[in-house]
Amino acid sequence: MEKPKFYLGSHVGMNAANNYLLGSALETIENGANTLMFFTGAPQNTRRTETSKLNIKEFKQTLIDNNIDIDKVICHGPYTINLANTVKQDTFDLGVRLLKEELLRLEEIGVHTLVLHPGAAVGAPRALALESVAKGLNVVYKELPNTPVRVALETMSGKGTEVCITFEEIKSVLDLVEAKDKVGVCFDTCHMHDAGYDVKNNFDKVVEEFDKIVGLDKLMAIHLNDSKNPISNHKDRHENIGYGYIGFDSLAKVVHNPLFKEIPIVLETPWIDGKVSPYKIEIEMIKNNTFTNPFKDKEIK
């Protein structure tokens, strides 16, 4: 089979009503995608369904039958993990426990990349919070030295006291991580734009800067999102592709850039009126490299 030009998909559901992971795979296929991202449970809480109930075997077979490489599938870690918190020891300890549990679940599922929000300093010095992120990762990987599951730290917008909003902050964490081959980065185009990086007009320069400071070999995944806000607003409000302040052409160029041909790229754009998934249409537009203004009631920035 011919190798795809890029790996493009979206966040998909993973719940009992849709047969768990089997439903995730079928939703991906319906969207015309060749990769996907899912949560292993509700991202805002700690409850998780036993892996034996997730239809893992059917999930894997469906991916194989539809030529979707499971090595390009990614998972998003729960929002309840905050390894940057040095103010409350209980919060840090909970984050370590949940992260370890997520890695073990993903081992069973067969998905080996977990995207993780680095967390927030919540009043502590940023340097201390960044050290804490690395400390938490080091604890987890010391307890699971043989896990094949990697963690991709997500670039953040700078909302509140979030850390890892600059490449320098990400580098400071990676420098302290002991399992060098297990931890990397996930670009989020909305977050980077909101943090002040010029994704719209000069993404090549942004990538060059990342490569110089961190290294492109550390890039494991990309979240492709437009932004509802102008650059440097630190808001973290995703917009549909082509309707925000980054724009369709700049985001499509990210997907079609040969530099990222082996990197899974997933959409996390909002549903239309909170009811209708945009992903099939957005994926088709990006594949065709043509903006068709499909959601005509939405204002184009």
CA distance 34 to 23: 15
- Is 112 annotated in a binding site? The answer is no
Of 81, 187, 170, the closest CA to residue 126 belongs to 170
In contact, 150 and 114? CB cutoff 8 Å: yes
Judged on CB neighbours under 10 Å (0-12, 13-18, 19+), 34 is buried
E strands present in 92-225: 113-116, 150-154, 183-188, 219-224
- Is 223 annotated in a binding site? The answer is yes
**How large is the angle between the packed helices 20-30 and 56-65, nearest 10 degrees?**
20
- Is 188 annotated in a binding site? The answer is yes
Which phi and psi angles does 257 have, rounded to 5°?
Answer: -75, 120
CA distance 29 to 104: 26
- Is 193 annotated in a binding site? The answer is no
Q: Which two tokens stand for residue 250?
A: 């700049």
- Is 268 annotated in a binding site? The answer is yes
CA distance 50 to 186: 27
Residue 37's CB: how many other CB atoms inside 10 A? Answer: 26
**Given the DSSP bridges, would you call strands 35-38 and 226-227 parallel, antiparallel or unpaired?**
unpaired
Judged on CB neighbours under 10 Å (0-12, 13-18, 19+), 1 is exposed
**Binding site per annotation, positions for Zn(2+):** 76, 117, 154, 188, 191, 223, 236, 238, 268
